[in-house]
Amino acid sequence: MLKLILNVFIFLFSVIFAQFSGQMLYQIYQGVNVEKYQGKNFILEGKIFYNKEISNSSWIVLTTVPTNSKGKVMKDPTYTPDAGIYYKKGEWSSYEMKGKIDKNAIGLVIGVSVAGKGSYYLDDFKLYVLDGKDKIEIPLKNSDFEEGSLMPWQSHAAEKGSTMSISTAKSFSGKQSLLIDNSDADVKPTFGDNKEVGKMIDINGVKLYYEIYGQGDPLLLIHGNNSSMASFDNQLEVLSKKYQLIGLDSRGQGNSTSDDTKLTYELMADDVNVFLDKLNLNNVNVLGWSDGGNIAVILGMEHPDKVKKMAVMGTVLYNNETSVDPEINKILHQQVNEMKARGVAENNMDYRLKMLLLTEPNINPDALKKIQAPTLVMAGERDVMPEKHTRLIADKIPNGKMLIFKGGDHEAPKNMPEKFNKAILEFFDK
């Protein structure tokens, strides 16, 4: 029965993760029975060797998803969010993911997801459960790829040309490893990685990547921390029918480059201002999500002539116990400490972006009076900031309005796109 449940789940997992990011090309995974370890913490480890250097559009991450007794997906996939933290050029990279097994989970599907035209060797996957002081290894089948067959590993290929095979060319231990090769994959253009549409532009010492779709009044999209314009994938089709949609990757994220200049939201707001100048755009509509909302607010304060109307989702003015869920900061501090322990350099972009979340923004609420544009301030009912803080922002902006998505969280643009898109269109169309 468990085998049937896991097979059903594996199919559902492949469908969901193919939609999780437009960049995802290839997944490989297997199901594991974790019923006796419900509610306990786990650690998933894997060794990965990059044949090509990591990039913003080419990387690999560990992935897990729980399944219940009926073989249905219980939650969205979780994954190691910062592939660059583990990457070592020319060496085997030791990947690690920590999490908690859902208290109702019967199975846990573990594996990797790959983006871009990379090529990788995989070896020595291990799954541990922490039971008090004990660290229990949960057996995985053919986790060192020493068997001639790839069973019980299963795969889902999003594009033609992606291949996987047992290889003797390189191994972390033993004589064999798994080779995943996307070098010849027929990559279809996607939002945020469409080289037929995308362009680079020199802004403040870095090169910013942008894409433009549709006709009408310009509507600029500004994404969240350690993300890209692709996070607005569920908004592209709807919004580009009525607006000239401009997707922009912030410095050091997506396909944009970075330098060693200290990251601040003010710097990125100035990037946007110069970007609009170079495109000869004034008085544009702006949609910002999370960090993008912080950037949009500062843009509206410092350059009110650039913003016609503004909608922001999941925005904060500062980071303390009144504006951000303390658990979020606890996790961020833990991640930063783990990065330091692994010897991650402070100029690493993943490290810098986490520090940005912990130390900024630093906006005086009264400064919001400088915003002249009508502004829709949005958040999810279960967002990372309390409703009181969202209301503060809306109240301080002279022409501000608040909208809370009932049942929603910080990911409302992705998780409830119909409601989110309807709200955006109604606001900008007025």
CA–CA dist 420, 232 (Å, integer): 11
At 11 the pLDDT is 38
Cα(320)–Cα(316) distance, rounded to whole angstroms? 10
The label of the residue with tokens 């998933």 reads: 44
pLDDT at 6: 42
Q: In the prediction, which pLDDT does 24 show?
A: 47
- Would you state the pLDDT for residue 103? 93
Residue 48's beta-bridge partner residues? Answer: 93, 122
Give the per-residue pLDDT at 164. 87
Residue with the two structure tokens 């898109």:
421
What pLDDT is stored for residue 157 in this prediction? Answer: 54
Whether residue 185 contacts residue 159, with contact meaning beta carbons closer than 8 Å, is answered with: yes
Cβ-based neighbours of 163, under 8 Å, separated by 6 or more: 179, 180, 181, 184
Q: Which two tokens stand for residue 294?
A: 């912080």
Token pair belonging to 22: 């437009």
Helices (H), 241-325: 265-278, 291-302
Dump the DSSP string for 160-184. TT-EEEEESS--SSSS-EEEEE-TT
The set of residues, in sequence order, having a beta carbon less than 8 Å from that of 149 and lying 6+ positions away, is 142
Strand (E) or helix (H) holding 312: strand 307-313
Residue ranges with strand state E in 192-265: 199-203, 206-213, 218-222, 244-248
Write down the domain spans for the chain.
2-181, 199-429
State both tokens at 332.
Answer: 């961020």
Strands 307-313 and 375-380, by their bridges, are parallel
**What pLDDT was estimated at residue 403?**
98
The pLDDT, as a whole number, for residue 159 is 64
Mapping DSSP to helix (H, G, I), strand (E, B) and coil, where does residue 122 land? strand
Return the CATH fold of 199-429.
Answer: Rossmann fold (3.40.50)
The CATH architecture annotation of domain 2-181 reads: Sandwich (2.60)
Return the pLDDT at 43.
96
- How many CB atoms are located within 10 Å of the residue 343 CB? 6
**Rounded to whole angstroms, how far apart are CA atoms 303 and 378?**
21
pTM of the complete model:
0.81
Q: Is 224 helix (H, G, I), strand (E, B) or coil?
A: coil
Helix (H) or strand (E) holding 416: none
Q: Classify residue 25 as left (phi > 0), alpha (psi -120 to 50) or beta.
A: alpha
Q: Find residue 402's DSSP bridge partners.
A: 377
> Which stretch of DSSP H or E encloses residue 373?
none
Residue type, 403: L
Residuewise pLDDT in 10s, the chain (430 residues):
444 344 433 333 333 333 334 444 578 899 999 999 999 999 999 999 999 988 777 889 999 999 988 777 788 888 886 787 888 889 999 999 999 999 999 999 999 988 888 899 999 999 999 998 899 999 999 999 999 889 889 887 556 778 889 999 999 999 999 999 988 877 678 899 898 999 999 999 999 999 999 999 999 999 999 999 999 999 999 999 999 999 999 999 999 999 999 999 999 999 999 999 999 999 999 999 999 999 999 999 999 999 999 999 999 999 999 999 999 999 899 889 988 888 888 998 989 999 999 999 999 999 999 999 999 999 999 999 999 999 999 999 999 999 999 999 999 999 999 999 999 999 999 8
